[in-house]
């Protein structure tokens, strides 16, 4: 029986998965619809990228969100660029997005292919029609925006070229609806100059497909193809390819590369000498090795930075969630304590006690009135029965008119002599009892109520200390006082 390797722990397995995913999915692009978009107070963006059959969690850290040219919206489709990151404590993964582009670029790509095929059929991209570039130009024309970074890059490169080189700028727009007409006008004016340039550089910095769309315009492509002066197109980055690049006599990867291709540098001219040919080969080899080594170091540094950045964001989110939970728990606890104290203090407040006593007294008076009313009804029925018996006994001896008046007079006389005085006496007694509990009546008789700084009623000298502050309430207002000395009554 062969020995099997020991099983992996969850931490070890997750670490392997994290390494494989994060190293294998760097700089990927994903298209889909945004849902459950959340803009955190820290500046991070959290959302889900989904299509008809699957979904993946995604995040844009605050540093990357500040550089986005397109702000994402709920329910819209985009193209997302980023890398995968694994959160080891939960064993989950998400896409860390660094760039967002509108999905509408796909329509532009389709139009780009249609125009490319159309212009190719017209022969605008035919290599046989390309003009030969001068080996050592004396005059170079530059067509771009004077405020663009591409113009500065071209000037820096051409500064390393021979000193006799003459530069001429034809300013134009390189983005927007008015850009095609501006570029065509610059090409025509440059080629019509009396001292015509030996070569023209048409350059612009990088951007989205929408930003570079003016270089796919039919008028621009035709003007570049028919220009009598050789044209080098250096538009965007190396990955950006416009229809103008196909129509130009030479395509450069970047604006700087266009300047490099237009004229050899002083170093290149020196390297063409026989004595320096061997040294130039060695230098190129060393330069390539150093560039390769630098790229490897840059890749490792970028991967380490991504891991460190992701881990710091995860730790920060955990600490923020823990702090928020503790704050809510403590606030809930303090609120419950405050409610309990308010409930206890409200029951001890003199006004509440007086209100409760008034309520009980009112109930007692209602019961008393009900009892008096029931007793009065019973007395009335008994008096009526007695009256009827007396009338039956003495009815024969009285005149008819006297017989009719006797029952009513006997009832009124009975009520006046017995029940009404008794009810008045009880009512006066109850009113006196009720007035004795009235706070305003007590204060009006010369009494006062003393409250401490916590608004508690002071009823005993034992609860006071010299220097304590009291609020004394009278019938017509209140006054603040301080205890100078305390005298206690002798105990019996």
Q: What pLDDT, on the 0 to 100 scale, is given for residue 95?
A: 92
For tokens 């820096």, name the residue. 156
Q: How many CB atoms lie within 10 A of CB 198?
A: 19
User: DSSP characters for 305-329?
Assistant: HHHHHHHHHHHHHHHHHHHHHHHHH
Three-class HEC string of 87-101: ECCCCEEEEEEEEEE
For the purposes of burial, counting CB atoms within 10 Å of the CB of 483, is it exposed (0-12), middle (13-18) or buried (19 or more)?
middle
Q: Give residues with Cβ within 8 angstroms of 453, minimum separation 6.
A: 468, 469
Model confidence, pTM: 0.41
Q: What pLDDT, on the 0 to 100 scale, is given for residue 469?
A: 84
3.30.70.1400, 2.40.50.140, 1.10.150.120, 3.40.80.10: which CATH number matches 10-103?
A: 2.40.50.140
Q: What pLDDT, on the 0 to 100 scale, is given for residue 247?
A: 92
Is 80:117 a contact under the CB 8 Å cutoff? no
In the three-class reduction of DSSP (H, G, I as helix; E, B as strand; rest coil), residue 399 is classed as coil
Residue segments in the chain with a per-residue pLDDT below the cut of 50: 1, 396-398, 401-406, 492
Cα–Cα distance between 72 and 33 in angstroms, integer?
Answer: 10
Closest CA to 419 of 360, 376, 472, 365: 376
Closest CA to 116 of 222, 204, 246: 246
Q: Could you tell me where in the chain the CATH 2.40.50.140 domains are found?
A: 10-103
Cα–Cα distance between 402 and 78 in angstroms, integer?
Answer: 112
Domain 121-273, classified CATH 3.40.50.261, yes or no: yes
Q: What pLDDT, on the 0 to 100 scale, is given for residue 492?
A: 43
Q: What pLDDT, on the 0 to 100 scale, is given for residue 307?
A: 84
Q: Could you tell me where in the chain the CATH 3.40.50.261 domains are found?
A: 121-273
Cα–Cα distance between 43 and 56 in angstroms, integer?
Answer: 21
Q: What pLDDT, on the 0 to 100 scale, is given for residue 491?
A: 57
**Distance, C-alpha 190 to centroid of its chain:** 52
Dihedral pair phi/psi, residue 97, rounded to 5°:
-90, 135
């Amino acid at each position: 029986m062969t020995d099997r390797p020991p099983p992996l722990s969850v931490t070890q397995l997750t670490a392997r998965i994290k390494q494989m995913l994060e190293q294998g999915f760097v700089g990927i692009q994903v298209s889909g619809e945004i849902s459950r978009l959340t803009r955190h107070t820290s500046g991070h963006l959290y959302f889900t990228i989904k299509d008809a059959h699957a979904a993946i969690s995604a995040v844009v850290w605050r540093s990357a969100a500040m550089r986005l040219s397109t702000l994402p919206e709920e329910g819209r489709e985009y193209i997302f660029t980023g890398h995968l990151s694994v959160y080891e404590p939960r064993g989950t993964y998400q896409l860390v997005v660094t760039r967002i582009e509108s999905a509408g670029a796909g329509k532009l790509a389709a139009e780009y292919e249609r125009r490319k095929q159309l212009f190719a059929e017209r022969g605008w991209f035919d290599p046989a029609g390309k003009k030969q570039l001068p080996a050592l130009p004396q005059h170079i024309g530059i067509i771009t925006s004077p405020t663009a970074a591409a113009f500065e890059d071209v000037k820096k490169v051409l500064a390393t070229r021979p000193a006799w080189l003459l530069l001429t700028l034809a300013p134009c727009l390189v983005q927007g609806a008015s850009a095609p007409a501006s570029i065509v006008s610059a090409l025509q004016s440059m080629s019509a100059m009396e001292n015509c340039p030996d070569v023209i550089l048409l350059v612009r910095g990088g951007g989205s497909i929408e930003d570079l769309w003016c270089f796919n315009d039919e008028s621009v492509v035709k003007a570049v193809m028919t220009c009598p002066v050789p044209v080098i197109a250096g538009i965007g980055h190396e990955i950006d390819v416009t229809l103008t690049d196909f129509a130009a006599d030479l395509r450069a990867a970047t604006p700087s590369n266009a300047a490099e291709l237009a004229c050899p540098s002083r170093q290149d001219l020196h390297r063409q000498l026989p004595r320096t040919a061997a040294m130039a080969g060695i230098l190129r080899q060393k330069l390539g090795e150093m560039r390769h080594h630098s790229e490897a170091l840059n890749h490792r540094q970028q991967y380490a930075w991504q891991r460190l950045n992701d881990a710091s964001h995860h730790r920060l989110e955990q600490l923020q969630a823990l702090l928020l939970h503790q704050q809510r728990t403590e606030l809930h606890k303090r609120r419950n304590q405050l409610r309990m104290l308010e409930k206890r203090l409200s029951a001890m407040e003199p006004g509440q006690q007086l209100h409760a006593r008034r309520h009980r007294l009112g109930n007692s008076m209602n019961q008393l009135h009900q009892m008096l009313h029931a007793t009065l009804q019973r007395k009335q029925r008994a008096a009526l029965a007695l009256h009827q018996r007396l009338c039956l006994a003495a009815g024969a001896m009285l005149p008819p008119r006297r017989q009719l008046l006797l029952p009513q007079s006997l009832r009124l006389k009975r009520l006046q002599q017995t029940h009404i005085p008794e009810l008045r006496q009880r009512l006066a007694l109850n009113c006196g009892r009720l007035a004795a509990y009235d706070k305003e009546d007590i204060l009006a008789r010369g009494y006062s109520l003393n409250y401490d700084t916590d608004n508690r009623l002071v009823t005993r000298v034992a609860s006071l200390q010299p220097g304590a502050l009291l609020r004394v309430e009278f019938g017509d207002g209140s006054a603040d006082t301080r205890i100078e000395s305390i005298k206690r009554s002798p105990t019996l």
